[in-house]
Structure 1
């Protein structure tokens, strides 16, 4: 399964729906994480 993290479209907003600390758990669950360029 692929988890996608899009960049925010609201002007000035830089937050995204995923924090780096969660990535190890997603990798352990064999999930692929794709982050859109410019996100965060």
Structure 2
């Protein structure tokens, strides 16, 4: 992972991959993060 700078410079790709990763492991966690506005 490129870190915060990479995440900020490429939000669509980072968010997509992160959401896919979370949805494969814990839907509740993904929903919580989405609710908090992190995704």
Provide TM-score, normalisation by structure 2.
0.26
More helix as a share of residues: 2
More strand as a share of residues: 1
Which of these two proteins has the greater Rg computed from alpha carbons? 1
Higher relative contact order (CA 8 A, sep 6+): 1
